[in-house]
Amino acid sequence: ARKKLGKLKKTPAISLDGIEVTLLANIELPEDAHAALEAGASGVGLFRSEFLFMGRTGVEQHLPSEEEQFLAYKQAVQTMKGRPVTIRTLDVGADKPLEHGEHNILNPALGLRAIRYCLKEPQIFLTQLRAILRASAFGTVHILIPMIAHAFEIDQSLAMIEQAKESLRIERIAFDENVQVGAMIEIPAAALSLPMFVKKLDFLSIGTNDLIQYTLAIDRADHEVAHLYNDTHPAILQLLSMTVSAAEKAAIPVAICGGMAGDIKLTRLLIGMGFRELSMPAALLPEIKQEILNTNIAALEPSVKKILRTYDPQVIQELLAEVRELRL
Ligand code: PEP
Ligand code: MG
């Protein structure tokens, strides 16, 4: 079995009808990039940079400096040997608390988290952007902005990236001038109004964990409402479908980097909907690849279209079972 998996590692994820799906890994710390490479990932689709900022104690209590961050990002980038590394800017707040300066927040999931926090703390944001840009001189780096809901948040983020670039130019520090910038689609408002800002971006990445939390109004950390979690709720499927269409229209790639991307029960549904990039924990990558290798995408499209046309949860489950069992 080990040999089979070893061979699978180098095999691209191409469906029976010849369509390639790019499989990427999610990482939390730079050393996780080794596991990503080992699993055969084509790149890092989500580097959750907040893990460099969280749980710091003793002498490290202060936030990581530009240099410390630069070394961490560079390590991940160099480990991936030219494969793209998508670094998400600081996504603290809610389920990812930052010890530094934390106060009583009324409703953390709806509060000052992620890009909202970064735009309020421009110095912290600029420091991180400079560190990410410096790492871009050592490979292929993409910048991913979390929790976007407003066009001005993109405008301000792009302006801050330009400011960070300009400061590096003045200091003659190397970075990739063409580093791509994308947004996480994880607030329903963003999915529903993509034409508002999609033209300003190089790519999209859907965070299904938060998209489900905010669409169904269930706190992702509250067990009392876990039974209401339903990733095939018609509202979720519609939002995913709208996002694929909008990305297609704008001719930019769209990935899924939330938990749905690593759920083998959903792989055929997602690629049948048109997704061609999935980012997941490295350990799940081989089985998802196997599923794609065993799938004829064209053959599932009629059933997937039916799923997207129905609002009956029972019928959705039946059609999903049909899609999963299709022998191709
Ligand atoms: C998500 O929300 O789906 C996501 C990928 O980001 P996180 O789980 O880190 O919020
Ligand atoms: Mg999220």
Query: What is the distance between the alpha carbons of residues 219 and 225, in angstroms, rounded to a whole number?
Result: 7
Report pLDDT digits (tens) over 48-63.
Answer: 999 999 988 776 678 9
Give the residue carrying structure tokens 């029972």: 314
Report pLDDT digits (tens) over 155-193.
Answer: 999 999 999 999 999 999 999 999 999 999 999 999 999
Q: How far is the CA of 34 from the centre of ligand 2 (A)?
A: 23
pLDDT of the residue at 99: 65
pLDDT of the residue at 55: 83
Closest CA to ligand 1's atom 6: 207
φ/ψ of 180, rounded to 5, equals -80, 145
Residue range 287-313: mean pLDDT, rounded? 97
Q: How far is the CA of 73 from the centre of ligand 1 (A)?
A: 19
Residue 1 predicted with pLDDT over 60: no
Is 48 within any annotated ligand binding site?
A: yes
Catalytic residue among 190, 201, 257, 284: 257
Residue range 80-91: mean pLDDT, rounded? 98
Q: Which residue has the higher pLDDT, 82 or 96?
A: 82
Report pLDDT digits (tens) over 230-274.
Answer: 999 999 999 999 999 999 999 999 999 999 999 999 999 999 999
Residue 198 predicted with pLDDT over 70: yes
Residue range 206-219: mean pLDDT, rounded? 98
pLDDT of the residue at 102: 54
Q: CA dist 222 to 54, 91, 133, 229, Å?
A: 21, 19, 37, 11
Confidence of residue 3 (pLDDT cuts 50, 70, 90): low
* Substitution candidate for ligand 1 out of 27, 209, 243 with most atoms within 8 A of CB: 209
* Substitution candidate for ligand 1 out of 86, 210, 263 with most atoms within 8 A of CB: 210
- The interface predicted TM-score (ipTM) is 0.99
Closest CA to ligand 1's atom 9: 48
Three-state DSSP state, 110: helix
Of all residues in the chain, the percent with pLDDT exceeding 70 is 96
- Backbone dihedral region of 156: left (phi > 0), alpha (psi from -120 to 50 degrees) or beta? alpha
Question: What's this model's pTM, rounded to 2 decimal places?
Answer: 0.96
Q: How far is the CA of 248 from the centre of ligand 1 (A)?
A: 23
Q: Which atom of ligand 1 is nearest to the CA of 210?
A: 2
